[in-house]
Amino acid sequence: MTEQKAPAGFLNILKPPGMSSHDIVGAVRRVLHTKKVGHAGTLDPGAAGVLPVAVGPATRLIEYLEHADKSYRAEMQLGYTTASGDDLSPVTERLATFTMPTAEQVKAVLPRFMGRITQTPSAYSAIKINGQRACDRMRQGEQVEMSSREVVIHRLELLACRTADHTLLLDVDCSRGTYIRSLCTDLGQALGIPAVMTFLVRTRVGDFRLADALTLEELAEKGATALLPPAQMLSLPRYDLRPDRAKAFCNGLSTSDWHVKSLPAAFTVYADGQFLGIGTWDAAQREVKAVKVYRV
């Protein structure tokens, strides 16, 4: 009888609104009958879209997904705001009347939020403060002071400006750590009108795209055949190691390469077409160092 290998690889899961990212991990564990499952890039329970999930030894590679750029489609409504910046908490300010800005007026302020910007995440977030999530501290009645952070907005496009329901529809390409709720709140302030994010869909994380994402029902049908080769989804350059050094790399040893002048900070390492793990380049020693070894 052939021994069945434990499942290993990445999944591109379409998270529905109403489920937490942890709920998705639990569902994947049940479908694939394995405990070693993790996710990259938390999505709020009310949000939907792409959630990369790692299974088996691929969980050791999650950090390389978390650094990937992301894309979102967000709906925001003008005229009121809430403590959390979305419509899942009590209203803190509401205008009785206001003049809805035109699409041209909205587009005029968008450049302020392009490039490297500073934003302060909502205290109702999964950011950990002294080991505990800020949102949990808030629910316990604590006052939480959030630090501002630098993020990068690569693209910010207005798709629709609807006067009837006072909503704006935006597409955003951004760096890791960007909070779209905060972006919507700040955009409202720039327009002089309180605002709140009313819906969010994550459309991309690195090479994980919405068009390719699987629902949990589709995963249940496909099972382990839905797993994606991890190296192909990491958006990292490739380095081919001499085959005779494959075992050394897998044992965590470095390999000299005097033919290479420079390499990126992180790259996938192959030998004889087989993915071995993640390497880094020691320029002083002219060596490829093993950072993460991928063992199936």
CA distances to 58, 136, 224 from 296, in Å:
9, 36, 14
Catalytic residue among 23, 44, 244, 282: 44
Active site includes 244?
no
281 band by pLDDT with thresholds 50, 70 and 90: very high
pLDDT at 199 over 60: yes
Q: What is the pLDDT of residues 221-275, one digit of tens each?
A: 999 999 999 888 998 999 999 999 999 999 999 999 888 888 888 999 999 999 9
* pLDDT of 127 over the 80 cut: no
Neighbour order of strands in the sheet with 255-256: 238-240, 267-271, 274-282, 287-293, 255-256
**Residue in this structure with the two tokens 């006052």, named with its chain if needed:** 143
| Res 126 pLDDT > 70 | no
Could you give all domains of the chain from N- to C-terminal order, each with its CATH number? 9-68+207-230 (3.30.2350.10), 70-202 (3.30.2350.10), 236-293 (2.30.130.10)
DSSP H or E segment with residue 249: helix 246-250
Q: Is 202 left (phi over 0), alpha (psi -120 to 50) or beta?
A: beta
**Which residue from 227, 222, 276 is spatially nearest to 53, judged by alpha carbons?**
227
The full DSSP string for 275-288 is EEEEEEEETTTTEE
Residue type at position 18: G
- The confidence band for 2, taking pLDDT boundaries of 50, 70 and 90, is very low
Q: How confident is the model at residue 25 (pLDDT cuts 50, 70, 90)?
A: very high
The CB density around residue 167, as the number of other CB atoms within 10 Å, is 18
Q: Which of 104, 78, 82 is nearest to 93 (CA)?
A: 82
- Cα distance from N-terminal residue to C-terminal residue, the chain: 19
Kind of pairing between the strands at 238-240 and 267-271: parallel
Query: Is the pLDDT confidence value at 168 over 60?
Result: yes
Judge contact between 13 and 213, C-beta under 8 A. yes
How is residue 66 written in tokens?
A: 């978390």
d(CA 226, CA 214): 9
> d(Cα 226, Cα 94) in Å, to the nearest integer?
46
Among 285, 80, 240, 266, CA closest to 166: 80
